[in-house]
Amino acid sequence: MSELNLILLGPPGSGKGTQGERLQADFRLPYYATGDILRAAVRDRSKLGREAKQYMDRGDLVPDEVIIGLIAERVERSEAADGFILDGFPRTTAQAEALEAEMAELGRRLTAAILIDVSDEEVVRRLSGRRTCAKEGHVFHVEFDPPKNEGVCDVCGSKLVVRDDDKPEVIRHRLEQYREKTEPLISHFEQRGILRRIEGESPPEEVGDRIRAMLATLKMEEEL
């Protein structure tokens, strides 16, 4: 495929970050995760971080006008010329339309919107056991993907913490926000013929294998 412009779509805790890291390693494409970008801004106490924190702590979405510019600037970077992986963006119809307008302006198109499908019960189980590296955002799970040393990131050695928005009441609100604002994107991308559904409740390696197999099929179809 000439370009691989991928979107990872799915409810909170579906494994977008877990699969995004793997895809980035496999395809050597830039990986832009809006949640990670915003959390880094919160840590830096920048203007963006101060504004975003109030929404994130409640489990609300940050306003479209704040987030659209952040991604538009990244998609235009030369490092993204052969493709990119977007995790957590777009999350509203307005964000999807802004991205599509920008891609059209650049003479490019989205390759696939990969929906990682998991149930609400699985989301709660995953988010309540998630541990996130305080420095670089690497993700672990106390039961499903434990770090080699408890409380310490395998990749960079920093402390593992529970995210502020992984408290039970905030998880519930994030799921409501997903149903109301993000789920309509499933039919949006279906209509454009680029939605690819992946069963996401199997172990991470199996989910990753399914995504790679789906991308290999897309590549073959394009070459026919």
Q: Rule CB under 6 A: is residue 99 a binding residue for ligand AP5?
A: no
The residue from 130, 131, 196, 210 that is catalytic is 130
Region of 58-66, 75-83, 152-160, 186-194 interacting with ligand AP5 (CB under 6 A):
58-66
* Active-site annotation holds for 77: no
Contact range with ligand AP5 by CB under 6 A, out of 14-22, 103-111, 153-161, 210-218: 14-22
Among 23, 56, 112, 211, binds ligand AP5 (CB under 6 A): 56
Q: Of 52-60, 75-83, 101-109, 210-218, which segment contacts ligand AP5 by CB under 6 A?
A: 52-60
3-state secondary structure the chain: CCCEEEEEECCCCCCHHHHHHHHHHHHCCCEEEHHHHHHHHHHCCCHHHHHHHHHHHHCCCCCHHHHHHHHHHHHCCHHHCCEEEEECCCCCHHHHHHHHHHHHHCCCCCCEEEEEECCHHHHHHHHHCEEEECCCCCEEECCCECCCCCCECCCCCCEEECCHHHCHHHHHHHHHHHHHHHCHHHHHHHHCCCEEEEECCCCHHHHHHHHHHHHHHHHHHHHC
Active site residue: 108, 163, 172, 212, which one?
Answer: 163
Tell me if 67 contacts ligand AP5 by CB under 6 A.
yes
* Among positions 9, 14, 80, 99, the unique one binding ligand AP5 when judged by CB under 6 A: 14
**Residues with a known catalytic role:** 16, 91, 130, 163, 174
Positions touching ligand AP5 (CB under 6 A) are 10, 12-18, 34-35, 38, 55-56, 59-62, 67, 88-89, 91, 95, 126, 130, 139-141, 144-145, 165, 174, 203-204, 207
